[in-house]
Amino acid sequence: MTMKGDLLILGGTMVDPARDFYGKSDVVVRNGKIMEWPSGETVEAEKVINAEGCLVLPGLIDHHAHAFPAGTDIGIYPDSTHLPQGVTTVVDQGSAGVNNCESFFNSIVGNSQTRIFAYLNVSPAGLSALPRALEPVDPKTYELESARSLFEKYDKRLLGLKVRQSKEIVGELGLVPLAATVQMANALGCKVTVHTTNSPGNVNELTALLRPGDIFTHMYQGQGNTILDDKRRVRKAVRDARSRGILFETADGRAHFTFSVAQSAISDGFEPDLISTDLVKASQFDRPAFGLPLMMSKYLCLGIPLQRVVKACTSTPARLIGMEGKIGTLSPGAYADIAIFQLKEMTILLRDIFDQELACNQILIPRLTVLKGRVVYRSLDF
CATH number of the domain residue 269 falls in = 3.20.20.140
Q: CA 267, CA 302: separation in Å to the nearest integer?
A: 9
Q: CA 331, CA 376: separation in Å to the nearest integer?
A: 20
On average, the pLDDT of the chain sits at 96
Q: What is the pLDDT of residue 201?
A: 85
Residue 230 within a domain: yes
Q: CA 307, CA 330: separation in Å to the nearest integer?
A: 14
Q: CA 286, CA 81: separation in Å to the nearest integer?
A: 11
Provide the pLDDT confidence category of residue 286 given band limits of 50, 70 and 90.
confident
Residue 100 within a domain: yes
Task: Please say if the pLDDT value at position 38 is more than 80.
Answer: no
Q: What is the pLDDT of residue 83?
A: 98
Q: Which of 18, 15, 13 is nearest to 318 (CA)?
A: 18
Instruction: Please tell me whether residues 187 and 285 are part of one structural domain.
Output: yes
Residue 326 within a domain: no
Contact 15, 300 (CB under 8 A): no
Q: What is the pLDDT of residue 31?
A: 96
Q: Which of 340, 344, 345 is nearest to 367 (CA)?
A: 340
Instruction: Please tell me whether residues 9 and 104 are part of one structural domain.
Output: no
Helix axes 144-153, 176-188, angle to 10 degrees: 50
Give the pLDDT mean for 306-319: 98
Q: What percent of the chain is modeled with pLDDT above 70?
A: 100
How far are the Cα atoms of 24, 136, 191, 218, 225 from residue 166, in angstroms, in the given order? 46, 12, 19, 11, 10
Domain range for 41: 2-56+332-378
Q: Is the pTM of this model over 0.85?
A: yes
